[in-house]
Structure 1
Amino acid sequence: MQENVQRIVEENGMRMVLERIPHVRSCSIGVWLTRGSRHEPPDKIGISHFLEHMVFKGTSKRNAKEIATAIESVGGSLDAFTGREYTCFHAKVLDEYVELAVDVLSDLINSPTISEENLQREKQVIYEEIRNMEDTPDDLIHQLYSETIWGDNPLGYPLLGTYQTVAALKRDDILEYLHQNYIAPNLVISLAGNIDFNSTIDIIREKFSFLSSRSTAGDDEIPTPPGEPRRAVNRHLNRDCQQTHLCLGTASFSHSDARRYALLLLSNIVGGGMSSRLFQRVREEEALAYVVYSFQQFYLDTGLFGVYVGTEPSKREKTLRVIREEYAKLLEEPVSEQELNHAKNQLKGQLMLGLESTTTRMFRLANFEINREGYQKVDEVLAKINAVTPEDITAVARIILNPENLCSVSLGPNHN
């Protein structure tokens, strides 16, 4: 597969990763800060997410409506999200509006006004976001699962913060966090679409020239190490809802770990779609659930694997037993070449279909850069997937599905 990617590192530490895709008319631009909830002090949990909200309230050039109108008036989209290890602001526009999109994105992190009035108003919005998560048990269970695995480590912090930590945030806290963390060495600009490299690089340099007035003392160290994750914990939280929501799994591998592709294939075999073992057993054969799937998250130095299922409260124990039985089968007997090839084709197909989106390609550029791997061509990734053997799957399963490592967390009514 032909790819045209350039990586530039500026003297101030800012990184650009650009991909030219001449056969499309769209362009996706991401401004990534390598700072997220994992970098927060305990008394300011949620500040990364709060700042992500606040920059949209207005800047020295645009008010809140003008920020939204600037992109939407040309048919584009503008959004942002906060993760454990990064914060992302991104836009998608027609190729003729790349300069406009870069201008809006740079404006967000250059000169947000962060007025006291908007800060107090946005706290109410964040409270509602927290309440929304608390009222959505199939979302809440994932936060409880992270807390259970990581304990007091920042990887277990709630991304939204708590009512107490959000309430305590002051304007000076937000501005200090902005100027200490939204700096060139922490910044990755990723862009994929129908672009001219030279003119696009010039636009980015011009729009982000304000960074020269900020500190360049970025900290490239991995934040608080995860320590030893909890193992063999079984936790139930009482909640008045119609289903019991379950997560079962353990800590896993980092984004750069060579075993990552074996884990992705194992995850597909376990719970990656309608043909997966758990979907067939839990839903089709046992009728224990409507939704069942596996998931994984990769960080700089560790990761997380698990299975989610929602079931009738009285069937909690049976559901856990069935999942553990399927895990045990993978430990006792290697996967067949046929099943592994099915999982490989599924994973490769997902990758290739995703490449039809400039947004997916922009995310892909940034993920390799943020995780310090260097860009990997699609053919290289496909070769790594193809190279995984049944023995590799078994080796990973013995770590990830080992009963002595598994933690289970459930949320729902107490039953017996």
Structure 2
Amino acid sequence: MRVVTEYIPSVHSASVGLWVGVGSRDEGPSVAGAAHFLEHLLFKSTPTRSAVEIAQAVDAVGGELNAFTAREQTCYYAHVIDSDLELAVDLVADVVLRGRCAVDDVEVERDVVLEEIAMRDDDPEDTLGDVFLSAMFGTHPLGRPVIGSVGSIEGMTRAQLHSFHLRRYTPERMVLAVAGNIDHDQVIRLARKYFDGHLVDGKEPVAPRKGTGRVGGDPTLALVNRDTEQTHMFLGVRTPGRHWEHRWALSVLNCALGGGLSSRLFQQIRETRGLAYSVYSTVDTFSDAGALSVYAACLPDRFDEVVRVTMDVLEGVARDGLTEAECKIAKGSLRGGLVLGLEDSASRMHRLGRSELNYAGHRTIAETLDLIEAVSVDQVNHIARQLLERPFGAAVLGPHRSKRSLPKPLRALAT
């Protein structure tokens, strides 16, 4: 198991994260949602603590103990004041290594996960995010929702979850990341104490995930007919994964397109025409693939115009490119967002864990800022032409009964 730390003398907190290089893309279709279900289940009980005792331990020090599951990783984390560092390491290790996966706990948490799926289904933007990635990646594991489906969760057995835990949660896939007012040697001592017997299995740490690089077929159009007040849309293209040499130029392109108040999409759709309250662009990046997408939500009778303006903006950027001024603003926004987003120990811990799992290395903040600043407008416009000429995929949720009722640019995706 790898241990990475960052000392931040200006804070009075400590953030502990145990990162496991396992996520929803590592599941088979028959156990879709297993990684997320297991993440829930491990908090229910250990040989020495009940769920109530786990909760009481962290509440008694005013801390936070939680976890999240993504497509390529799972993270269990605690955030406490610095004097409670040992408790945080103890709790995270106890939950992750010794969570019991008891039969009774499985049945209780099954209902909780089903409630979470229902909550996702009640949120149009969350629902559409999963539908969009399915439209983009099809039957590839990246196209499956992290949370699974009602059918897969209802059919999941304790034996399957316990097996997933034993087979996947191994030391060579783990990173213990700690940031705050802490000492590296102290963290090592605590790791040896609370991870005793789980630190070494004779294998080299797993190299950063590269993925298969193979996503078959073109993106498609997906429609979810729902009686909502607004029509919600994701529209986008596939991109290379996070190891792409032009990923910083992609970040600048995304920011200039829809990453801020001055971005083209925000100005054209909201500020100039008042067509939508919410409009933005985003980038999802995985080891071997990704997606550059635009989200907008508007009244159904304005949807045709929102699609038209969105396509006009994207086609204009692909054809004529961005200006030097737009790229300068986007780079400044990225640089400021990076620095301001790392003002607390929790964000520093997340940066450490992700960097170790994804790249097996770490850049200083200054080095990252230099990489952003080095992006040229020519680089941004080159990848804009390259990406925005690719086949588009889209997902729409709203009161539309068939794909034939959608705007013509979207209908073309259904053929």
TM over 0.5: yes
Task: Identify unmatched segments of 5+ residues in structure 2.
Answer: 406-415
Where does 1:111-190 land on structure 2 (aligned, <5 Å)?
Answer: 111-190=98-177
Distance 1:231 1:313 in 2: 27
- The amino acid across from 1:250 in the alignment is V
In structure 2, the residue matched to 1:9 is none
Counterpart of 2:228 in structure 1 is 241
Tell me how far apart the structure 2 counterparts of residues 217 and 341 of structure 1 sit (CA, whole Å).
43
TM-score (ref. length: structure 2): 0.93
Deviation digits for residues 211-236 of structure 1 (CA, Å, limit 9, x no counterpart): 15878587658486252354363332
Q: Secondary structure at the match of 2:101?
A: coil
Aligned partners of 2:2 and 2:205 also within 8 Å = no
Query: CA 1:264/1:176 → structure 2, altered by over 3 Å: closer, same or farther?
Result: same
Query: SS at the partner of 2:19?
Result: strand
Give the share of equivalent positions with the same residue, in percent: 35
Does the residue aligned with 2:65 lie in a helix, a strand or coil? strand
Aligned partners of 2:239 and 2:290 also within 8 Å: yes
Moved more, 128-137 or 334-343: 334-343
How far, CA to CA, are the matches of 1:151 and 1:263 in structure 2?
A: 23
**After superposition, where does 1:36-185 map in structure 2 within 5 Å?**
36-185=23-172
SS of the residue 2:110 aligns to: helix
**Alpha-carbon deviations, 1:341-399, whole Å to 9, x = none?**
11111100001111211111111111111112510111111111011111111111113
Question: Which residue of the partner structure matches residue 392 of structure 2?
Answer: 406
TM-score (norm 1): 0.92
In the alignment, is the contact (CA less than 8 A) between 1:279 and 1:292 conserved in 2? yes
Aligned partner of 1:280 in structure 2 is: 267
Q: Distance in 1 between matches of 2:138 and 2:287?
A: 18
Could you list the per-position Cα deviations for residues 65-97 of structure 1 after superposition, in whole angstroms to 9, with x for gaps in the alignment? Answer: 111121221121111000000010011111111
For residues 324-347 of structure 1, what are the alpha-carbon distances to aligned partners after superposition, in whole Å with 9 as ceiling and x for unaligned?
101112122232222211111110
- SS of residue matched to 1:331: helix
Q: Give per-residue Cα distances to partners, 1:176-231, cap 9 Å, x unaligned.
A: 11111111001011111111111111111221113158785876584862523543
In structure 1, distance between residues paired with 2:315 and 2:296:
18
Runs (4+) off by over 4 Å: 212-224
1:351 aligns with 2:338: yes
Deviates more, 1:61-70 or 1:406-415: 406-415
**What is the match of residue 327 of structure 1?**
314
Mean Cα deviation higher: 331-340 or 359-368: 331-340
The 1-side partners of 2:13 and 2:123 are apart by 35
User: CA distance change for structure 1 residues 54 and 215 in 2, over 3 Å: closer, same or farther?
Assistant: farther
Separation (CA, whole Å) in 1 of partners of 2:54 and 2:202: 26
For the Cα contact (< 8 Å) 2:208–2:357, is it kept in 1? no
Asked if 1:268 corresponds to 2:265, the answer is no
Task: Report if the CA contact (8 A) 1:145-1:409 is conserved.
Answer: yes
Asked if structure 2 preserves the Cα contact closer than 8 Å seen for 1:39 and 1:223, the reply is no
Q: Secondary structure of 1:309's match?
A: strand
Structure 2: which amino acid aligns with 1:385? I
Q: In the alignment, what sits opposite 2:240?
A: 253
> Aligned AA for 1:41?
G
CA RMSD of aligned residues (A): 1.8
Query: Does structure 2 conserve the Cα–Cα contact (< 8 Å) formed by 1:293 and 1:308?
Result: yes
8 Å CA contact retained: 1:150, 1:226:
no
Q: Show the counterpart of 1:306.
A: 293
The answer to whether the 8 A contact 2:207-2:360 is kept is no
Alignment correspondent of 2:370: 383
User: For residues 392 and 48 of structure 1, do their structure 2 counterparts lie closer, same or farther at Cα, with a shift above 3 Å needed?
Assistant: same
Distance 1:108 1:215, change over 3 A: farther
The 1:390/1:141 distance shift into structure 2, 3 A limit, reads same
Quick check: 2:210–2:288 contact (8 Å CA) kept in 1?
A: no
Q: Give the aligned residue type for 1:267.
A: N
Question: Quick one: which amino acid aligns to residue 179 of structure 1?
Answer: L
